Amino acid sequence: MAKVLVVTSGKGGVGKTTSTASIGAALAQNGQKVAVIDFDVGLRNLDLVLGAERRVVFDLINVVQGVAKLPQALIRDKRLENLWLLPASQTRDKDALTEEGVGRVITEMRNNFDWILCDSPAGIERGAMLSMRFADEAVIVTNPEVSSVRDSDRIIGMLDSKTVKAEKGEPVEKHILITRFDSARAARGEMLSIEDVLEILAIPLLGIIPESQDVLRASNVGSPVTLNSPASAPARAYSDASKRLLGQTIPMTVPSERKGLMSLLRGRRAA
């Protein structure tokens, strides 16, 4: 039975799609059977980041409307046999996504995967609400910057009230993923620190992804960074974050920056 994990943020451009692709790939590299679903109807990009843009035939809305069967729409990754993509529709009306339809697709997928990662669109409209609706867990992608932190706070409130789990009185397990972190700038007091973000949002930390050129290079060629340059700092950070999702205890570090700055934060996740 799969775990349904929504990757969300409220704000756009913080790294939801990159993080979905990278965590999805890293989980698959760890032997998990993973499906990633793009909920950004009209502005799909997960296909592009995963290098599958020319293989899209059917999409999520086709499946919701019964035009195509789920196995016809799922695209298997060419490099990772455990990774599958269900793309968003690029042309159709956003209202074509219904709660009942999305629920049906996710229920069908739950039996066939270990993880279902839902890549939320930005904002708090229909697509974003439906991407979190059936989630068991949530990764809230946050940049150490005021507008991103504020929007994350708003999304946390919605995860606690608008999901099926929340309505049943069960908590959605929430994790913060800080992306585009620059430890040198944070040390100089130019950027919110990890401690600042965690204290304000009061959610456990899943990982710290450093600002890095490797992320852009990977999306340029359509390959998740954990595959494209596995030894790079962001790839190691995503890989560690994925292992934490699998329940492993990995010391919290900013990869490439192994000099004690993060020693303070060790064990923070346990709190």
What residues make contact with another protein under the rule CB under 8 A? Answer: 145-146, 149-150, 153-154, 157, 160-161, 186, 188-193, 196, 199-200, 202
- Of 8 and 62, which CB lies nearer to another protein in the complex structure? 8
Q: Are 63 and 51 spatial neighbours (Cβ–Cβ below 8 Å)?
A: no
**Least separation in angstroms between CB 143 and another protein:** 12
CA distance 125 to 12: 13
The alpha helices in 115-232, defined as continuous H runs, are 126-133, 146-159, 164-167, 183-187, 194-201, 213-221, 225-228
Nearer to another protein, 81 or 190 (CB): 190
Nearest-angstrom CA–CA distance, 182 and 189: 11
User: How many beta carbons lie within 10 A of that of residue 31, not counting itself?
Assistant: 9
Cβ nearer to another protein, comparing 68 with 166: 166
Minimum distance between the CB of residue 147 and another protein, rounded to whole angstroms?
10
Shorter beta-carbon distance to another protein: residue 202 or 216: 202
Which CB, 109 or 191, lies closer to another protein? 191
3-state helix, strand, coil in the chain (%, to 5): 40, 15, 40
Measured from the CB atom, the residue of 6 and 73 that comes closer to another protein is 6
* Radius of gyration, CA atoms only, the chain: 17
The answer to whether the beta carbons of residues 215 and 225 sit under 8 Å apart is yes
CA distances for 230 relative to 50, 70, 79, angstroms: 15, 31, 14
Coil, strand, or helix at residue 21? helix
